[in-house]
Structure 1
Amino acid sequence: MRIALAQIASTTDPEENLAEVGRRVAEAAAAGARVLVLPEATMCRFGVALGPVAEPFDGPWVTRVRELADASGITVVAGMFTPSGDGRVHNTLLVTGAGVEARYDKVHLFDAFGFAESDTVAPGTEPVTVDVPDPITGDPVRLGLSTCYDVRFPGLYQRLADAGAAVLLVPASWGAGEGKREQWELLVRARALDTGSFVLACDQADPTTVGREHGKAPTGIGFSMVAGPLGEVVDTLGAEPGLLVTDVDPAAAAHVRTRIPVLANRRF
């Protein structure tokens, strides 16, 4: 299955970001991608009040993304914010288009490095997988969903792999700082290796590459990456905005899981 990662630099304007989604959908479809993955906080970057921009899952922002995806015949995965009901929001992954509909609310909130995501974001509770039909065979390819800080928690990825996902997605808005790029790369590769999966991690572009500042919130460092089931780096982007298109073969992940059956050999 061909999957595209669109590394963008979201602004604080959902309409402006929606226009960027449209451009990236067209670009991914032209490249033959079946799935387009955009970063966490595609709808609106971190660093501003999220309550006023959050929309219900059937609201106008989701509706427009769905229309863009359906028109191009691909499935889009994009980070947004939805009301939680307790005055906070959910950090939500929207999965929509080409007959596929799902959502994932981020489980592990980024209460680290002096940032407290849980002050304004309510956690999700359940792992989520979604089946996307292979455009050639029609067979379902199961994708596991996760978001940014989730990548530090291997148990979630093992649950997704146990549920049959051989391709794990990690939209992110990674925080900048000393050693953070090295941690990002190590964690993405580790989650691939300890589940025998392809891990496709799509970060926000480094805002300094488009004339902005990082600020105090996690606003991305770039370096979106595809890791193979042996933990190898398949492909990566730099710090600036860009599109990475990759072909993943779930059968290759199944082969690795047979050779190195870490999931089956677990005792805890």
Structure 2
Amino acid sequence: MRVALAQVITGRDVADNLRLLEEYARRAKDGGAELVVFPEAMMRAFGNSLLDIAEPLDGPWASRIREIAAELGLVIVAGMFTPGADSESGKPRVRNTLLATGPGVEASYDKIHLFDAFGFAESDTVESGTDPVTFDAGGLTFGLATCYDVRFPALFTANAQRGAVVNIVSASWGSGPGKAEQWQLLARARAVDTTTFVLACGQGDPATQGIETKGSAPTGVGYSAVVSPFGQVLEALEGEPGLLFADLDPAVVDEARQQLPVLANRRDF
């Protein structure tokens, strides 16, 4: 199965971000992809209000993505924001949601592990999800994860136990000393942990386009990558926006699980 990762830089304008998604989806289809992954916060970049643009999964933004996916015959995975429950103190919140839609596919995942780290408190405005989510496309099973989730191996193992041979991680990774290296390391580690392909798709680095960012909002560092079940980086980008392609062969997962049966050997404590 041929897949694509769209490393883009989103902004505040929801309509502009949707046009960007459509442009890259068409490029992915032209390149032969059956599935294209977009980053977290594809709907609107962090550092902007999220409450005023959050909408349900049958709202106009998600519905337009479904239309694009249906027109192109392409599975699209993209980050958006859906309404969440108020906090215990009554503060309104959203959910940080990944939508997966396309031929034979309709799934959504709400980010479980919220980014309360490095001076940023996602939980102030976001309600966490509770359950792993997988979906089937092109004869493969995919697991979903978002950004900070990549630091928590158990979610990736749970996806693999549900049949995933590919784990998708959409991110808007926070910048800082050593952060890009951590992102790359963690993507490779999760692939080896679970003997799955990992599709790690992040927002590009705004600095590469001369875009200044303010505050502690995580706006992306780039370095999207496709990692094999053996931890080998098959394809990768640097900080600039771009589109990469990779061909996923499930036989590679079978081989990895025969040679390195970590899922069969693992024990719960």
Shift of 1:30: 0.4
Which deviates more from structure 2 when the two are superposed, residues 98-107 or residues 205-214? 205-214
**1:130–1:142: 8 Å Cα contact kept in structure 2?**
yes
Q: For residue 100 of structure 1, what is the aligned residue in structure 2?
A: 105
Equivalent residue number for residue 143 of structure 2:
144
Deviation at 1:58, TM superposition (A): 0.4
**Structure 1 counterpart of 2:56:** 56
- SS of equivalent residue, structure 2 residue 194: coil
CA contact 1:176–1:214 (8 Å) conserved in 2: no
Report if the CA contact (8 A) 1:228-1:234 is conserved.
yes
What percentage of aligned pairs have identical amino acids?
A: 56
Structure 1 equivalent of residue 89 of structure 2: none
Give the alignment of 1:239-250 within 5 angstroms.
Answer: 239-250=239-250
Q: CA deviation at 1:85?
A: 2.8
CA contact (8 A) 1:166 1:254 kept: no
Partner SS for 2:190: helix
What residue number does 1:188 align with? 187
Which residue of the partner structure matches residue 202 of structure 1? 201
- The code of the aligned residue for 2:243 comes to L
Q: Which residue of 2 aligns with 1:46?
A: 46
The answer for the alignment partner of 1:235 in structure 2 is: 235
Task: Kindly report which structure 2 residues correspond to 1:83-98, keeping only aligned pairs within 5 A, or say none.
Answer: 83-86=83-86, 87-98=92-103
Q: Distance in 2 between matches of 1:98 and 1:12?
A: 29
Partners of 1:14 and 1:98 lie apart in 2 by: 24
Alpha-carbon distance between aligned partners in 2 of 1:165 and 1:254, rounded to the nearest angstrom: 12
Unaligned stretches of 5+ residues in structure 1: 135-139
- The question of 1:112 aligning with 2:117 is answered yes
TM superposition shift of 1:218: 0.2
Structure 2 match to 1:122: 127
Which whole-Å CA distance do the structure 2 matches of 1:95 and 1:207 have between them?
25
| Per-residue deviation, 1:102 | 0.5
Which stretch shows the higher mean deviation, 212-221 or 66-75?
212-221
Q: TM-score, normalised by structure 1?
A: 0.96
How far residue 176 of structure 1 moved from its aligned partner, in angstroms, is 0.2
Q: Which residue identity is paired with 1:90? A: R
TM-score for both structures, normalised by structure 2: 0.96
Counterpart-to-counterpart distance in 2, 1:213 and 1:204? 15
Unmatched tracts of structure 2, length 5 or more: 87-91
Q: How many residue pairs are counted as aligned between the two chains?
A: 262
Give the distance between the partners of 1:7 and 1:170, measured in 2 at CA: 12
SS in 2 for 1:71: helix
Structure 2 CA distance, aligned partners of 1:120 and 1:210?
A: 28
Measure the CA separation in 1 of the matches of 2:169 and 2:8: 14
Q: Which amino acid aligns with 2:264?
A: A
Indicate conservation of the 8 Å contact 1:78/1:93, yes or no: yes
Q: Which residue identity is paired with 1:26?
A: R
Instruction: Name the counterpart of 2:68.
Output: 68
